[in-house]
Amino acid sequence: MPLHVSTFTGEHRKMSEETPFTISSFYKFVSEKRLMAAKCNECGAEFLPPKPMCTKCFSTNLKWIEVDGKGKLLTYTIIYIAPEQFQDMTPYIIGIVEFNNGLRLPGIIRGVKPEVIKIGMNLKIDFEESVSSEWHAWSRYFFRPV
């Protein structure tokens, strides 16, 4: 079984080749405070969130890679009127972050006020400890200023 070394903690872990390339697996890694993407072993394309098949060459020969959680804000919107489960957070910011390797991921941005957020600002991923019983039972990630 391959050994994976976390770029965040330096911890060595065994990583099963059998872990499917699904959104459920992605959130399982999030629950372990790891940002993982899929990489095609044939053409080198990377996918975040992961996909079970390469959309460039259609190969299913994929591997998991850990993504450095630092990047820049590409775009954002401020939510003032939210669904019921998010009303206590308003106003809140949703943005798309481009990581240093070019992969992009949307998410909630915390720790910055709507009036000071800027396109291009440096952000990094962070992880929530608690899981809501009212929303999907997946662990959650968010972005915050570096």
**What is this structure's pTM?**
0.80
Domain of 87, in residue numbers: 70-145
pLDDT above 80 for 11: no
Q: Decide: helix, strand or coil at residue 119.
A: coil
**Two structure tokens written together for 82:** 């939210």
Residue percentage of the chain with pLDDT more than 70: 82
DSSP state of 67: P
CA triple 132-135-138, angle to 5 deg: 70
Same domain, 92 and 124: yes
Q: Do 141 and 76 belong together in one domain?
A: yes
Domain boundary among 19, 50, 66: 66
Instruction: Summarize pLDDT for 75-107 with one digit per residue, the tens.
Output: 999 999 999 888 999 999 999 999 999 999 999
Same domain, 76 and 137: yes
Of the two residues 72 and 13, the one the predictor is more confident about is: 72
Q: What is the pLDDT of residues 32-58, one digit of tens each?
A: 999 999 999 999 999 999 999 999 999
Q: 7 falls in which pLDDT band (50, 70, 90)?
A: very low
- Same domain as 130, residue 94: yes
Tokens describing residue 132: 């809501």
Is residue 111 over pLDDT 50? yes
Task: Report pLDDT for 70.
Answer: 97
Strand partners, 94: 77, 108
Tell whether the model's pLDDT for residue 110 goes beyond 90.
yes
